[in-house]
Chain A
Amino acid sequence: AQSVTQLGSHVSVSEGALVLLRCNYSSSVPPYLFWYVQYPNQGLQLLLKYTTGATLVKGINGFEAEFKKSETSFHLTKPSAHMSDAAEYFCAVRGTGRRALTFGSGTRLQVQP
C-alpha cells in the first residue's frame, strides 16, 4: 500500500522568498513521484515528476524537487516565490503495480506582497 503525507495544509511566504513544500511517502516498491498544482477553479497541472535516473528533478515555473530515498521524501522548492505561485499543491505517488495515483491532502500556498 502507498501513502503520501504533506506537512502543512497552509504555507505562507513573502514574494521573493524561498518556497518549500514538504512531501513524504511510503511505498513498498520503488515509487514514481509527482507534484501537481491546482489554480483556483482549474484542473490539476503537472509540475514535475520523478520516475528513474537523476534524483533532482526540474519542472515548470522554476520549481524543482529532490527524491531522497533514505528519507522517503520528495520536497518541492522554488528559490523565489512569485504572486502567481499562489495555488494548491499536491504530491502523489504511484507504485509499479498500480497505475492510479495516491495523492496527499494538499498544501495551499499563499504569497504575500
Chain B
Amino acid sequence: GAGVSQSPSNKVTEKGKDVELRCDPISGHTALYWYRQRLGQGLEFLIYFQGNSAPDKSGLPSDRFSAERTGESVSTLTIQRTQQEDSAVYLCASSLVGPDEQYFGPGTRLTVT
C-alpha cells in the first residue's frame, strides 16, 4: 500500500511569510508525528497526534508553529512569520497504536531566504 506522503517536497519562502506543510499518513494509522531535521543534526520532535486525544505539543519551538489533524487523516503543519532558523527538513511519520514502528515520509525541505 501507499506510504506516508508529504507535500510539497521542497519549499522556498521569504523571511516573514507563512508556510503550510502537508502530511498524508498511512491509511488506518491513528498516530501521527512531526519532526524537524536541521542540517547535520538528528530529528527533533515537534508534535504528536493520537486519535481524538489532545495533541502532545511539547516539542513545538515557538508559538509561530502550529499543527492540525483532521480525524485520523491529513495533517498540516503551519509556520507563521518564518525565520531563517526555520530552514530544515520537516518529516512526518505515522504508526498504529500498539506497535512502536513509525513510518516516515520523504520530508519537506524548507528554505527561508
- Chain A interface (Cβ < 8 Å from any Cβ of B): 4, 6, 9, 32, 34, 36, 41-46, 49, 51, 90, 92, 94, 98-106
Contacts and interface: CB of A to CB of B under 8 A. Distances in A.
Nearest to B100: A32
A9 B39 CA distance: 13
Contacts, number: 58
A103 B56 contact: no
Contact of B105 (A36, A43, A94, A98): A43
Given A99-B48, A100-B59, A106 B42 contact: yes
A32 B4 CA distance: 23
28 contacts: A4-B42, A6-B42, A9-B40, A42-B106, A43-B3, A43-B104, A43-B105, A43-B106, A44-B91, A44-B93, A46-B101, A46-B103, A51-B100, A90-B43, A92-B43, A94-B100, A98-B56, A100-B56, A100-B59, A101-B33, A101-B43, A103-B42, A103-B43, A103-B44, A105-B40, A105-B41, A106-B41, A106-B42
A90 B44 CA distance: 12
